[in-house]
Amino acid sequence: MHVPDGFLDAPTSVATGVVAAAGVGVALRKARAELDDRTAPMAGLVAAFVFAGQMINFPVGAGTSGHLLGGALAAVLVGPWTGALCISVVLLVQSLFMADGGLTALGTNITLMAIVGAFVGYAVFRLVLAVLPRRAGSVPVAAAAGAFVSVPTAAAVFTLLFAIGGTADVATGKVLAAMVGWHVVIGIGEAIVTGLVVSAVIASRPDLVHGARGLATRAPLVTSEAAA
Amino acid sequence: MGAGHGHRLHFHGHSVVHRAPAHLKVLALLAFVLVVVATPRDWYAAYAVHLAVLVGVIVAARVPFGYLLPRMVIEVPFLLFAGLIPFIAEGPRVAVPMPGGWELSLSESGLVAAWGLAVKGTLGVLASLTLAATTEPTDVLRGLQRLHVPDLLVQIMSFMVRYLDVVTGDLGRMVTAMRSRGVDPRSPRHWPALARTLGALFVRSYERGERVHLAMLSRGYDGRLPDPEPTAGAAR
């Protein structure tokens, strides 16, 4: 669901481009603060993982297929800033190297999928996690909730942009109903897969899951390195 | 990295367009699509000019159209969306006579909007494909560097591009292993198995990133990558 060129008019495209550039700039700084000089290889590899995950298509019905968007998943696994950065890099590479998503729509795509996707997903994740019991088992449930909300929210923001800078004379209500309705269905799939993937990572390497920090149930392994 | 030259969209060649500096090509692409997007959609003649410019570049690049056209399927979902607009858009309707004696009621402004979406999207995809077909990924990255895209961002992109084939290869082998055990990764019934695969892929990718970082440290990495070699495609 990468927005191509010409979907939104030029002023809206430029405006979302500015929003995206600012968002990516802040994300770069925040990710750097978190990962230090590991940023380039780690974020690059996580971006490659997100890209690979998006290659698996699921039948959504009516002969069309959807794929994992991964905003909430990346935010829960590596934190919202690094997650948003990784999704932005995926979109940049797809746009420049694979002609997937227009170059003028890059700002729109980054705003919707990286910024809104990761941050709405992460905010809902945090909210749900706060009301669930403090156990590692709550993390996948909260991640699924974050993924479920983030997809229709991104669709709703797209509708807003389409109402401002859309190039077709379609009633906003109709677009909103169609987009949000359709993306609720996609969101269910996204939620199930996100929750299952997070749960699989927690089962093997709970220490890698950013959203499960402080909830790891295993006793820490004391090594000479840790003692030193 | 085991992978050959270029990437899945690159079309090897030595034309003027292939040799042009990558940063100029990226700027030209950006300028072109911005002009296309900003062109009012009822300036039909202007679109003929845009298409002529683009076709001229493709001919100069000596990339066969038979190579580019199948790769445009990426755009099909949006053409379907554009095709729906005349049915759902507001405004005065026109009746289009159909074979079989019945008439199709379509929105006039919707038809214009659909034309605008289809033509702008198609020109954008074709222009982007031309950049991808004529420019090696490392050259695009170097071009972005020259355009003063933040260094860290270019580094992250270069790691993603470099390890893309490794990670997708990993996934490909896991999916083959799943299929050989009777699992269909597309079916929701097998999502738990697929999710464990993706979880394993995440752990593998993350750990690979850690190993790459350690290997870089052992070679004196201090947060900056050395300047890439001046010649394109040189052995690393």
In a domain, B226, yes or no: no
Note the pLDDT of residue A64.
Answer: 56
Which residues of B fall within a CB distance of 8 Å from A25?
A: 150
Do the strands B103-107 and A57-61 form a parallel or antiparallel pair, or are they unpaired? Answer: unpaired
| Same domain assignment for residues B36 and B117 | yes
Which region among A19-33, A118-132, B57-71 has the lowest average model confidence (pLDDT)? B57-71
| Same domain assignment for residues B42 and B120 | yes
Q: What is the DSSP string of A52-117?
A: HHHT-EEEEETTEEEE---HHHHHHHH-HHHHHHHHHHHHHHHHHHH--S-STTHHHHIIIIIIIH
Q: Which residue of A has its CA nearest to B137?
A: A97
pLDDT above 80 (res B119): yes
Pairwise CA distance, residues A161 & A105, whole Å: 12
**For range B23-37, the mean pLDDT:** 89
Note the pLDDT of residue A213.
Answer: 82
- How deeply is B92 buried, as exposed, middle or buried, from its count of CB atoms within 10 A (0-12, 13-18, 19+)? exposed
Cβ contact (<8 Å) for B140 and A42? no
Which residues of B fall within a CB distance of 8 Å from A190?
A: none
**For range B48-72, the mean pLDDT:** 86
A164 confidence band (pLDDT: 50, 70, 90) = confident
Q: Which residue of A has its CA nearest to B91?
A: A169
A94 contacts chain B (CB < 8 A): no
Cβ contact (<8 Å) for B191 and A200? no
Note the pLDDT of residue A66.
Answer: 66
In a domain, B12, yes or no: no
| Same domain assignment for residues B26 and B133 | yes
Q: What is the DSSP string of B67-130?
A: HHGGGGGGGHHHHHHHHHHHHH--S-EEEEE-TTS-EEEEEHHHHHHHHHHHHHHHHHHHHHHH
| Same domain assignment for residues B51 and B127 | yes
pLDDT above 80 (res B228): no
Mean per-residue pLDDT of chain B:
82
| Same domain assignment for residues B115 and B176 | no
| Same domain assignment for residues B49 and B91 | yes
Note the pLDDT of residue B184.
Answer: 82
| Same domain assignment for residues B27 and B78 | yes
For A214, the token pair is 């402080």
**For range B169-180, the mean pLDDT:** 91
Which residues of A fall within a CB distance of 8 Å from B164?
A: 48, 51-52, 93
| Same domain assignment for residues B125 and B172 | no
Pairwise CA distance, residues A128 & B168, whole Å: 33
- CB A117, CB A29: distance < 8 Å: no
**Phi, psi torsion values for B202, nearest 5 degrees:** -65, -45
Give the residue from B54, B211, B20, B55 showing the smallest Cα distance to B134.
Answer: B20
- How deeply is A12 buried, as exposed, middle or buried, from its count of CB atoms within 10 A (0-12, 13-18, 19+)? buried
Cβ contact (<8 Å) for A99 and B71? yes
% residues pLDDT > 90 (chain B):
12
| Same domain assignment for residues B212 and B121 | no
Domain of B67, in residue numbers: 22-137
Span A76-119, pLDDT tens digits: 999 999 999 999 999 998 888 887 778 888 999 999 999 999 99
Span A34-89, pLDDT tens digits: 887 888 888 999 999 999 888 877 665 555 566 778 889 999 999 999 999 999 99
- CB B75, CB B121: distance < 8 Å: yes
B112, B137, B162 - which closes a domain: B137
In a domain, B227, yes or no: no
**For range B179-183, the mean pLDDT:** 90
A179 contacts chain B (CB < 8 A): no
Note the pLDDT of residue B80.
Answer: 80
**For range B204-219, the mean pLDDT:** 90
Helix H segments across chain A? Answer: 10-35, 39-54, 71-78, 80-98, 106-109, 117-131, 138-165, 172-204, 224-227
Instruction: Return residues 3-62 of A near B (CB < 8 Å).
Output: 4-7, 9-10, 13, 24-25, 28, 32, 37-49, 51-53, 55-59
| Same domain assignment for residues B73 and B131 | yes
The number of distinct structural domains making up chain B is 2
Q: Which of B88, B209, B221 sits opposite A170 (nearest CB)?
A: B88
Pairwise CA distance, residues B46 & A221, whole Å: 68
Note the pLDDT of residue B72.
Answer: 82
Q: Using DSSP, state whether B224 is helix, strand or coil.
A: coil
**Dihedral Cα B119, B121, B125, B131, nearest 10 deg:** 90
> What is the ipTM, given to two decimal places?
0.85
Q: Which of A28, A56, A208 sits opposite B194 (nearest CB)?
A: A56
Note the pLDDT of residue B4.
Answer: 43
Q: Which comes out higher in pLDDT, residue B10 or A205? A: A205
In a domain, B234, yes or no: no
A222 confidence band (pLDDT: 50, 70, 90) = low
Instruction: Return residues 96-125 of A near B (CB < 8 Å).
Output: 96-100, 102-105
Pairwise CA distance, residues A172 & A157, whole Å: 12
| Same domain assignment for residues B95 and B168 | no
| Same domain assignment for residues B117 and B189 | no
Mutate to test the interface with B, among A1, A2, A3, A5 (most CBs of B within 10 A): A5
A16 confidence band (pLDDT: 50, 70, 90) = very high
Q: Which comes out higher in pLDDT, residue A101 or A133? A: A133
Helix H segments across chain B? Answer: 16-19, 22-38, 44-61, 65-68, 76-88, 108-134, 137-146, 151-180, 191-218
Assigned CATH for A10-212: 1.10.1760.20
User: What are the residues whose beta carbons fall under 8 Å from the beta carbon of B102, sequence distance 6 or more?
Assistant: none
Cβ contact (<8 Å) for A13 and B9? no
Q: Which comes out higher in pLDDT, residue B82 or B139? A: B139
A221 confidence band (pLDDT: 50, 70, 90) = low
Note the pLDDT of residue A100.
Answer: 79
Note the pLDDT of residue A74.
Answer: 92
